[in-house]
Structures are given as structure tokens and as C-alpha cells.
Amino acid sequence: MSRYTAAAEAELDGITFRAWQGSHYVTLAEVLVRLGSFGLGLTWRVEIDEMVDPRCAEIERLSEGDGLDTLTLLSLTTPGYQLIDAEACGFAGGELVVVLTEFDSSFWDVRASDGAVLRELARHFAVRPLARTSNTPARP
């Protein structure tokens, strides 16, 4: 995936949950909404490995450079928009604070600097915690 993946795995706590919750596919739009106020002011850079919809290339193009704001990204990922192998990295003031990785339309891996965000997602989806890849102490 992106160049940010290693940093996220080393520095951010995370959870994984199935993209299919029963017969319902959890879209990027739904995950963005579940971020709540934490996600509103972020700037996003998105990489999509499998271009299954014309909007994929547009999202990648628009997220280059300065990135996309959350509401614009949300408007481009309306309900029903399914991703295959994609990563959305959210930045606050240039610092990576959340990474949303979708694997093969099967799993979401969410890493975030704010544990409350992960707890909110865990309340709504069957999740499993992810370990960090470094000895960096956990953030409160």
C-alpha cells in the first residue's frame, strides 16, 4: 500500500473488522461518518490499487498534493461505492492521525491516534485489536 503504512503500523493503535457485516458491505463513506468530529478537519490522501469504478481515478487525482478534505471525500464515496485494496490516510496539520485500509473488499484495518475513534468503531463492528510493530508505548 502507501508509504504511510509502516509509520501507521509502528505508531498508531488499530482494529480490524470484516468489510461484510452479514449481507451489508461497510463502505468508506460509512467508516468516514463513524470517525465523527475527529475526522471532520482532516486532509486525506487516497491510494486505490484496483480501479473498479471511474471515481477511483478521480479520488486518487484529487487527493494528490494538498489532499482532499473529509466532506469532499465523503461526497465522492457515496453509499454503495465499494473499494478493493485501497488506503485512505488522514492528516491533521501534516501529521498522520488515521489510516483506513480496505483489503480485497473483505476487511477494514483502521489505525488511529485517538483511542476513542477505535472504541466507537468497535461498538458498531465485530473487531479484533491490532498490535503495533514497534516498541512505541501506547498513546492514551
- Tell me the per-residue pLDDT of 30-54, one tens digit each, with 9 for 90 and over: 999 999 999 999 999 998 888 777 7
Separation of first and last alpha carbons in the chain: 27
**Which pTM was predicted?**
0.84
DSSP code of residue 106 = T
- Tell me the per-residue pLDDT of 112-135, one tens digit each, with 9 for 90 and over: 999 999 999 998 887 655 555 544
Q: How far is CA 40 from the centre of its chain?
A: 13
Strands 86-92 and 127-130: unpaired
Give residue 80's region: left, alpha or beta (phi > 0; psi -120 to 50).
left
Backbone angles phi, psi at 57, to 5 degrees: -65, -40
- Are 70 and 44 spatial neighbours (Cβ–Cβ below 8 Å)? yes
Mean pLDDT computed over 13-37:
90
